[in-house]
Amino acid sequence: MSRLSPFLSVFLALAPLPALATTPVAERGETEKIERLIEIGRHDQALARLEVFLGEHPGEPQARFMKSIALAETGRVEEAIEVLSRLTAEHPELPQPFNNLAVLHAMRGDLEQAREALLGAIEAQPENGRYHENLADVYVELADRSYRKSVELAPQGGRAETKLGLLEAVLETSSEGPAMPPRTPDGATPGGADEPASEPPAPGEAVAETPEAAECAGAVAAVRAWAWAWSSQNADGYLSSYAADYEPSGGLSRKQWAAARRERLERPRFIEVTLDDLEVELCAERRARVSFTQRYRSNTYQDRVRKELWLSRPEEKWVISGERTLD
C-alpha cells in the first residue's frame, strides 16, 4: 500500500533553517541565492555552488540541509540520507532535518527508521502538530502491514480482516483532497510557531512580489504537486491535476486515459519523479507554459526527458490543459 502521500509531500517544500546569528551577512547572501536555485528546480547548479560554499564552511547546517534537498530532488536519495543523518547527529536541536530524513526513509519503505527520525523531530519541537501527524501516518502504515500479514497467515477471516477493512476505509477518506500542502509547510524556526517561513530577498532585489511573479509561482507549485502526486502514487491527486477539458493523445477518451494512468501509477512498487531546470512563461491571462527536465524511475523502468506542460487557471487552481515531450 502506498498511502503516505500527505506525509511524503512535506519533503516537497523547501524548509529553510533559520540563518544562524554567527553566520556573516555575506555568507547568508550566498545561501539565499542557492535556496532560490533549488526553488526553481536548478538543482545541479545549486549543488555546484554548495560544494564550493561547504568547502569553505564545512559545518554550516543551513547549507548542508539545502544540499540534502537538492540531492533528493535529483534522485540521489542515499546521499541525501547520509547528509541528513550526520546533520541530525550534530544538531539534534533542529527538527526540520529529522522530518525530512523520516520522509526519505519512508520513501524507501524503512518505516522503523522513519519513526525514529520523527521522534527526534518531536523531541526538538514537541509543539509542532505536523510532526505528530507524520508520526501517526507512519504508525498507520505499520499497522496496515501487520494486519495484512495477519490476514495472510490466517486467511479464514477474523478480527484482523475486519480491522484491516476499517483501516482501509479511513485511508480512502483521508486520501481525498489536494495531493500536497502549501509550499512552505515546514519553515518554522526551531522552537517557534508553526508558520511558513518567508523567502528573504537576495541583496539588491525588491521585496514586493509582482502579480506576474505570483502567477508564475502558482503555476510552478501546481506542476510540483502533480509530480509528487505521481511519485507518491496518489492517482486521485494526479488525475485532479488535469483540467476538465483535457484531451488525451492517441485517440483515447478521458475515461480510458484516466483508467490507463491509474493502472500505471498503482502497478509499480515505487515511483520517483524529479523535475529540474523549470522554466515558466505566462502566455495570456490565467494561462502559462512550464517546461522542465523530468527524471522518472520505478522498479521496472527509468528515463529522462524534456517536457512541457500547458496550464490554465479557470478558477483558483492551476490545472494541466496540455502536455508534450520535447525530446
**pLDDT for the residue 186:** 42
Residues 223 and 108 placed together within one structural domain of the fold: no
Measured between its terminal Cα atoms, the distance across the chain in Å is: 33
C-alpha cell of residue 55: 568547502
> Is residue 181 situated within a structural domain?
no
Residues 130 and 234 placed together within one structural domain of the fold: no
Q: Are 291 and 279 in contact (CB under 8 A)?
A: yes
C-alpha cell of residue 37: 536555485
Residues 14 and 144 placed together within one structural domain of the fold: yes
Residues 142 and 260 placed together within one structural domain of the fold: no
Label residue 117 left, alpha or beta by phi (over 0 means left) and psi (-120 to 50 means alpha): alpha
CATH number of the domain where residue 228 is located: 3.10.450.50
Residues 29 and 138 placed together within one structural domain of the fold: yes
Rounded Cα–Cα distance for residues 187 and 198 (Å): 8
**pLDDT for the residue 292:** 93
Interval 173-224: pLDDT, tens? 444 433 333 323 343 333 333 333 334 344 334 334 467 777 888 888 889 8
Residues 141 and 252 placed together within one structural domain of the fold: no
CATH number of the domain where residue 44 is located: 1.25.40.10
**pTM passes above 0.85:** no
Q: Which domain holds residue 241?
A: 211-325
**Closest C-alpha among 165, 141, 137, 140 to residue 151:** 165
CA 50 → CA 65, 71, 270, distances in Å?
10, 11, 29
> Is residue 265 situated within a structural domain?
yes
CA 301 → CA 16, 59, 233, 272, distances in Å?
33, 38, 15, 11
Number of domains in the chain: 2
Among 174, 199, 231, the domain-final residue is 174
3-state helix, strand, coil in the chain (%, to 5): 50, 15, 35
Please provide residue 306's backbone torsions phi and psi, each rounded to the nearest 5 degrees. -95, 125
Among 147, 174, 201, the domain-final residue is 174
Residues 107 and 55 placed together within one structural domain of the fold: yes
Residue in this structure with the C-alpha cell 477474523, named with its chain if needed? 158
> Is residue 188 situated within a structural domain?
no
**pLDDT for the residue 302:** 85
Among 174, 193, 219, the domain-final residue is 174
Residues 31 and 97 placed together within one structural domain of the fold: yes
Residues 22 and 149 placed together within one structural domain of the fold: yes
Residues 25 and 85 placed together within one structural domain of the fold: yes
Residues 158 and 54 placed together within one structural domain of the fold: yes
Q: Tell me which H or E stretch contains 67.
A: helix 61-73
**Closest C-alpha among 79, 82, 80, 119 to residue 98:** 119
> Is residue 127 situated within a structural domain?
yes
Q: DSSP assignment of 263-306, as one string?
A: HHHHSSS-EEEEEEEEEEEEEETTEEEEEEEEEEEESS-EEEEE
* Low-confidence residues in the chain, pLDDT < 70: 1-27, 155-158, 167-210
Residues 6+ apart with CB under 8 A from 267: none
Residue in this structure with the C-alpha cell 542557492, named with its chain if needed? 34
Residues 155 and 303 placed together within one structural domain of the fold: no
**pLDDT for the residue 205:** 40
Q: Are 243 and 321 in contact (CB under 8 A)?
A: yes
